[in-house]
């Protein structure tokens, strides 16, 4: 098994996954206990059981997403990534909000596109977005890959680094090679926009750097991304998951 992100080791990624699994198990037990208390009318905390359950699901999502990234980074096959993703779909439905979850949603939509999830699963994510009345060009563009009638907002909730994506999309209509060059430039902008450099920490917390939306864009725009194979941050094996599985 070849490690995809070599800023950590196979053993390092595995250690993170094993720790996260322990945290996940404890929080699933916590949710079950809170749900039982709710049914019995027992309230043991200043916050309501419902609020704590929602917060715990958000924590579960973060640990589970950390595991998905770490598994991809250590070289796991697409089947393992797919399994992690479907658990994330369950968790995000309980806790997502647009104020703190924008990047979460960009990642979930992008990975869903790369995994070719079915329409009903994708519509669950779209329902969360529509309920929150989130208007954003990138989110709409990703949704449009499944729902062709989706109108694109002119708004970018996070202009850095996402605003440059509009130029990639427009260029792809006339010059796909130039669009690919712009996508390659975007990968560099994306990395510079990351606020926390986990690989520089003295603790073992680095799960990998992957620009999932770049892969989704290449797929949606039908770009020949062969030049991006081996490029830092580009999830080539997930874009070409059928090749990776063969």
The 3-class SS string of the chain reads CCCCCCCCCHHHHHHHHHHHHHHHHHHHHHHHHHHHHHHHCCCCCCCCHHHHHHHHHHHHHHHHHHHHHHHHHHCCCHHHHHHHHHHHHHHHHHHCCCCCCHHHHHHHHHHHHHHCCCHHHHHHHHHHHHHCCCCCHHHHHHHHCCCCCCCCCCCCCCHHHHCCHHHHHHHHCCCHHHHHHHHHHHHHHHHHHCCCCHHHCCCCCCCCCCCHHHHHHHHHCCCCHHHHCCCCCCCHHHHCHHHHHC
Q: How far apart are CA 44 and CA 127, in angstroms?
A: 33
**Amino acid 126: pLDDT:** 97
Q: How far apart are CA 27 and CA 177, in angstroms?
A: 47
* Cβ atoms of 111 and 64 closer than 8 Å: no
**Amino acid 210: pLDDT:** 97
Statement to judge: residues 104 and 72 lie in one domain: no
pLDDT of 85 above 70: yes
Q: How far apart are CA 225 and CA 89, in angstroms?
A: 28
**What average pLDDT does the segment 56-84 reach?**
96
pLDDT over 90 for what percent of the chain?
86
Structural domain contains residue 180 = yes
Structural domain contains residue 131 = yes
Statement to judge: residues 25 and 103 lie in one domain: no
22-31, 34-43, 71-80, 109-118: least confident range: 34-43
**Amino acid 245: pLDDT:** 54
Which pTM was predicted?
0.95
Statement to judge: residues 208 and 148 lie in one domain: yes
Of 77, 105, 133, which marks where a domain is finished?
77
Statement to judge: residues 73 and 100 lie in one domain: no
Statement to judge: residues 159 and 49 lie in one domain: no
Statement to judge: residues 136 and 200 lie in one domain: yes
pLDDT of 95 above 90: no
Residue 24: which domain range?
9-77
Statement to judge: residues 159 and 102 lie in one domain: yes
Q: How many angstroms separate the first and last alpha carbons of the chain?
A: 14
* Cβ atoms of 89 and 121 closer than 8 Å: yes
pLDDT of 195 above 90: no
Structural domain contains residue 119 = yes
Tell me the per-residue pLDDT of 159-172, one tens digit each, with 9 for 90 and over.
999 999 999 999 99
**Amino acid 244: pLDDT:** 56
**Amino acid 27: pLDDT:** 96
The number of distinct structural domains making up the chain is 2
**Amino acid 46: pLDDT:** 79
Structural domain contains residue 32 = yes
């Amino acid at each position: 098994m070849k490690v995809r992100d070599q800023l950590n080791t196979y053993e390092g990624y595995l250690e993170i996954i094993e720790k996260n699994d322990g945290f996940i198990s404890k929080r699933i037990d916590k949710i079950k206990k809170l749900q039982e208390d709710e049914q019995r009318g027992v309230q043991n905390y200043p916050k309501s059981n419902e609020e704590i359950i929602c917060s715990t699901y958000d924590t579960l999502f973060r640990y589970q997403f950390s595991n998905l990234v770490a598994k991809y980074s250590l070289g796991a096959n697409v089947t393992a990534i797919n399994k992690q993703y479907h658990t994330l779909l369950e968790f995000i439905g309980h806790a997502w909000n647009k104020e703190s979850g924008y990047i979460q949603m960009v990642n979930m939509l992008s990975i869903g596109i790369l995994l070719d999830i079915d329409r009903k699963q994708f519509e669950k994510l779209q329902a969360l977005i529509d309920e929150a009345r989130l208007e954003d060009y990138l989110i709409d563009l990703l949704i449009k890959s499944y729902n062709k009638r989706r109108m694109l907002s002119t708004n970018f909730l996070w202009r850095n680094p996402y605003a440059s994506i509009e130029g990639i999309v427009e260029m792809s209509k006339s010059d796909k090679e130039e669009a690919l060059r712009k996508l390659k430039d975007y990968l560099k902008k994306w990395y510079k926009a990351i606020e926390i450099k986990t690989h520089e920490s003295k603790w073992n917390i680095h799960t990998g750097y992957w620009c999932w939306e770049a892969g989704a864009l290449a797929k949606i725009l039908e770009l020949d991304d062969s030049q991006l194979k081996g490029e830092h941050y580009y999830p080539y094996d997930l874009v070409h998951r059928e090749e990776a599985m063969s």
